[in-house]
């Protein structure tokens, strides 16, 4: 799709810039989803304080009193507002990111749709929050909202009549509004649970230093530049020029000249396009990657793929086929409706019995052998095993002397035997270029790869492999220079080592027949 591709390019540039400034660990763009949760907690904490002083009988006066509390109320109110604005920005970045990466369809559709609902509920919370203040902006938001809602045939009386001005607005209106403002966040909790329900280990909060930094900056902003408070609402006065929050009131100038019916039609079209993103962003029928499968003849029931799968798509079930003496009682089973075909299970399985068709460990060894015979890596060559997402960054190295690019679908799906094979085939070193851990499109690929190569996680790189000849670099797709530097540094580190001898006694193709892909046999 053209839209996600354009978004992806823009995102790659932004990611690279942020990585340069803050490093990949604290890149706020990578943590946009988790930042929303952190900001919602800030909003909750500040909201509890504001609630103590809010009066539904005198909404504007009570908010004005809060704003007059120089030492506490003023900046807490400002923090409440700025955190809400930042939450909208973070949620929008998160949604655009997921859209750009094409992670909306298949088993991820539930997370996409619930994410949209979450964003909508955040908007509703903000809308009710601004109406609570009952300044000019609150009045304009309430009246514009009422105009739109009046078109729905579900209210016994037009809501706009409440804002006629004939009588003062009843306290019941502000009570209901306050109730909605408090009740909606409860719904947020439930939606958030649904949103991450298909993840094995959802990362709900960003790193502490990033949270602390963001909160400190927002507090500083709240103290130095307190939130604006417009003139009080007056139903007999047309809303005057006043400060509006563009994050929550951006739609006012858009809908003002349009009839309510047109606004609803446009809204319905926009919502339909967003909700149907899983349908229009998914690859064509023949191009969709198939879910993983298990070769039960090989599976030992060790449970490692169950532990490593980021989507809880694998479970151990009693073995029913291929029951023979010595075979494990349990065997891995992949739930195709939950599997996104990331291939991480292929990297986690030491005996190479699980993975997406044509991407199991055995298939990878066959591909590595083909690569080695075609490119013939020499002792001064570095093979860059690059995650598909990082290939744009690795591209320039394809023609660079001594750096051979070996692309893989996801670095986390790489079986460590491939690394060993390439070194034995004569390469001087293997540089693993993986996406930064919080940017892994398959959530935990980079993390598991690092642990398998350097920390002995099951399906580990064999201990006989000289670790000085293997290096892992986390690189985003827009970071060409960074990858170029990593190659140069690795080359310099390899120089003093004795030339690696190409071993010819390790023939992956002979030792491991290709899986052939497809259904279990």
Partner 1 sequence: MSPRTRRALGAITAAASLAFLAALSRVPYAAEPGADALLRLAWRARGERVEQCRRLTPAELARVPAHMRQEIQCTGRIVPYRLRVALDGREVINELVQAAGARHDRPLYVFRELRVPPGPHALAVRFARVRTVPATARDDETTTPPELRLDTAVLFLSRRAALVTYDEEQRRLTLIAAPRPPPPAR
- Binders of partner 1 among 140-169, rule CB under 8 A? 140, 144, 150, 153, 156-158, 160-161, 164-166
112's tokens: 């996409």
Token pair 């540094």 in the structure block, residue: 489
* Closer residue to partner 1, CB minimum distance, 186 or 224: 224
Beta bridge mates, 430: 383, 470
* Closer residue to partner 1, CB minimum distance, 254 or 398: 254
Q: Which of 316, 432, 413, 278 is nearest to 358 (CA)?
A: 413
Contact present, 426 and 378 (Cβ < 8 Å): yes
Q: How far apart are CA 132 and CA 63, in angstroms?
A: 9
46's tokens: 């500040």
Contact string (CB under 8 A) for partner 1, positions 275-314, x = contact:
----------------------------------------
Nearest distance, CB of residue 244 and partner 1, angstroms: 4
Contact string (CB under 8 A) for partner 1, positions 349-368, x = contact:
--------------------
Using CB under 8 A as the binding rule, whether residue 239 contacts partner 1 is answered as yes
Question: Residue 303: how many CB atoms within 10 A of its CB?
Answer: 16
Using CB under 8 A as the binding rule, whether residue 444 contacts partner 1 is answered as no
Using CB under 8 A as the binding rule, whether residue 67 contacts partner 1 is answered as no
Nearest distance, CB of residue 163 and partner 1, angstroms: 9
* Closer residue to partner 1, CB minimum distance, 211 or 427: 211
Using CB under 8 A as the binding rule, whether residue 249 contacts partner 1 is answered as yes
Contact present, 160 and 148 (Cβ < 8 Å): no
Q: What is the DSSP string of 39-95?
A: HHHHHHHHHHHHHHH--TTSHHHHHHHHHH-TTTHHHHHHHHHHHHHHHHHHHHHHH
Cα-Cα end-to-end distance for the chain: 36
Among 45, 246, 271, 507, binds partner 1 (CB under 8 A): 246
Q: How far apart are CA 285 and CA 448, in angstroms?
A: 30
Among 52, 57, 186, 238, binds partner 1 (CB under 8 A): 238
Using CB under 8 A as the binding rule, whether residue 241 contacts partner 1 is answered as yes
* Closer residue to partner 1, CB minimum distance, 64 or 191: 64
* Closer residue to partner 1, CB minimum distance, 23 or 336: 23
* Closer residue to partner 1, CB minimum distance, 214 or 409: 214
* Closer residue to partner 1, CB minimum distance, 466 or 481: 481
Nearest distance, CB of residue 43 and partner 1, angstroms: 14
Q: With CB under 8 A as the rule, give the number of residues binding partner 1.
A: 46
Using CB under 8 A as the binding rule, whether residue 170 contacts partner 1 is answered as no
Q: How far apart are CA 177 and CA 126, in angstroms?
A: 11
Question: Residue 186: how many CB atoms within 10 A of its CB?
Answer: 9
478's tokens: 């827009």
Nearest distance, CB of residue 28 and partner 1, angstroms: 9
Distance of alpha carbon 64 from its chain centroid, rounded? 39
Query: What angle in degrees, to the nearest 10, is found between the helix axes of 208-224 and 32-53?
Result: 40
Instruction: Label the pairing between strands 382-387 and 403-408.
Output: parallel
Q: What are phi and psi of 466, to 5 degrees?
A: -70, 110
Nearest distance, CB of residue 11 and partner 1, angstroms: 17
Q: How far apart are CA 411 and CA 435, in angstroms?
A: 8
451's tokens: 């642990």
**Structure letter (DSSP) for residue 488:** H
Using CB under 8 A as the binding rule, whether residue 237 contacts partner 1 is answered as yes
Question: Residue 163: how many CB atoms within 10 A of its CB?
Answer: 16
Q: Which of 316, 309, 318 is nearest to 291 (CA)?
A: 309
* Closer residue to partner 1, CB minimum distance, 164 or 266: 164
Contact string (CB under 8 A) for partner 1, positions 195-234, x = contact:
------------------x---xx-xx---x-xx------
Using CB under 8 A as the binding rule, whether residue 45 contacts partner 1 is answered as no
Q: What are phi and psi of 470, to 5 degrees?
A: -125, 130
Q: Which helix (H) or strand (E) holds 137?
A: helix 136-149
* Closer residue to partner 1, CB minimum distance, 40 or 294: 40
Nearest distance, CB of residue 410 and partner 1, angstroms: 30
Nearest distance, CB of residue 148 and partner 1, angstroms: 13
130's tokens: 């601004």
Question: Which of the stretches 199-207, 250-258, 313-321, 357-365 binds partner 1 when contact is defined by CB under 8 A?
Answer: 250-258
Contact string (CB under 8 A) for partner 1, positions 251-280, x = contact:
-xx--x------------------------
Among 89, 96, 199, 367, binds partner 1 (CB under 8 A): 89
* Closer residue to partner 1, CB minimum distance, 220 or 272: 220
Contact present, 184 and 128 (Cβ < 8 Å): yes
* Closer residue to partner 1, CB minimum distance, 110 or 235: 235
Binding residues for partner 1, per CB under 8 A? Answer: 20-22, 81-82, 85-86, 89, 136, 140, 144, 150, 153, 156-158, 160-161, 164-166, 213, 217-218, 220-221, 225, 227-228, 235-247, 249, 252-253, 256
């Amino acid at each position: 799709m053209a839209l996600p591709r354009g978004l992806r390019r823009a995102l790659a540039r932004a990611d690279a810039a942020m990585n340069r400034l803050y490093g990949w660990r604290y890149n706020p763009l990578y943590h946009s989803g988790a930042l929303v949760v952190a900001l919602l907690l800030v909003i909750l904490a500040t909201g509890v304080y504001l609630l103590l002083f809010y009066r539904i009988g005198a909404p504007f006066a009570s908010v004005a009193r809060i704003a007059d509390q120089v030492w506490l109320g003023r900046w807490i109110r400002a923090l409440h507002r700025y955190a809400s604005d930042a939450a909208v920005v973070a949620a929008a970045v998160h949604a655009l990111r997921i859209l750009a990466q094409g992670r909306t369809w298949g088993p991820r559709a539930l997370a996409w749709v619930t994410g949209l609902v979450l964003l909508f509920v955040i908007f509703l919370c903000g809308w009710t929050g601004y109406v609570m203040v009952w300044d000019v902006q609150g009045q304009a938001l309430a009246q514009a909202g009422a105009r739109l809602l009046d078109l729905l045939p579900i209210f016994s009386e037009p809501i706009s009549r409440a804002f006629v001005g004939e009588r003062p607005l009843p306290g019941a209106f502000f009570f209901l509004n306050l109730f909605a403002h408090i009740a909606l966040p409860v719904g947020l909790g439930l939606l958030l649970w649904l949103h991450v329900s298909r993840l094995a280990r959802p990362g709900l909060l960003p790193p502490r230093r990033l949270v602390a930094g963001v909160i400190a900056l927002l507090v500083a902003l709240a103290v130095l530049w307190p939130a604006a408070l417009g003139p009080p609402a007056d139903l007999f006065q047309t809303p005057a020029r006043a400060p509006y929050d563009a994050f929550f009131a951006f739609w006012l100038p858009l809908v003002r000249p349009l009839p309510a019916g047109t606004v609803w039609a446009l809204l319905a079209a926009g919502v339909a396009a967003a909700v149907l993103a899983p349908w229009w962003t998914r690859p064509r029928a023949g191009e969709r990657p198939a879910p993983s499968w298990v070769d039960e003849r090989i599976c030992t029931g060790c449970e490692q793929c169950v532990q490593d799968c980021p989507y809880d798509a694998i479970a151990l079930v009693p073995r029913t086929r291929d029951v023979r003496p010595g075979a494990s009682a349990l065997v891995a089973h992949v739930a195709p409706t939950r599997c996104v075909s990331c291939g991480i299970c292929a990297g986690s399985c030491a005996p190479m019995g699980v993975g997406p068709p044509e991407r199991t460990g055995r298939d990878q060894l066959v591909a590595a052998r083909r690569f080695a015979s075609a490119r013939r890596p020499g002792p001064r060559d570095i093979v860059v095993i690059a995650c598909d997402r990082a290939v744009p960054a690795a591209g320039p190295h394809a023609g660079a002397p001594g750096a051979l690019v070996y692309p893989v679908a996801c670095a986390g799906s790489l079986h460590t035997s491939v690394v060993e094979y390439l070194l034995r085939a004569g390469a001087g070193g293997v540089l693993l270029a993986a996406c930064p851990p919080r940017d892994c499109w398959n959530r935990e690929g980079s993390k598991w790869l690092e642990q398998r190569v350097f920390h002995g996680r099951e399906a580990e790189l064999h201990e006989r492999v000289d670790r000085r000849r293997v290096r892992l670099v986390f690189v985003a797709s827009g970071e060409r220079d960074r990858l170029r530097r990593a190659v140069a540094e690795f080359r310099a580190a390899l120089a003093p080592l004795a030339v690696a001898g190409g071993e010819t006694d390790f023939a992956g193709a002979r030792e491991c027949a290709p899986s052939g892909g497809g259904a279990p046999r």
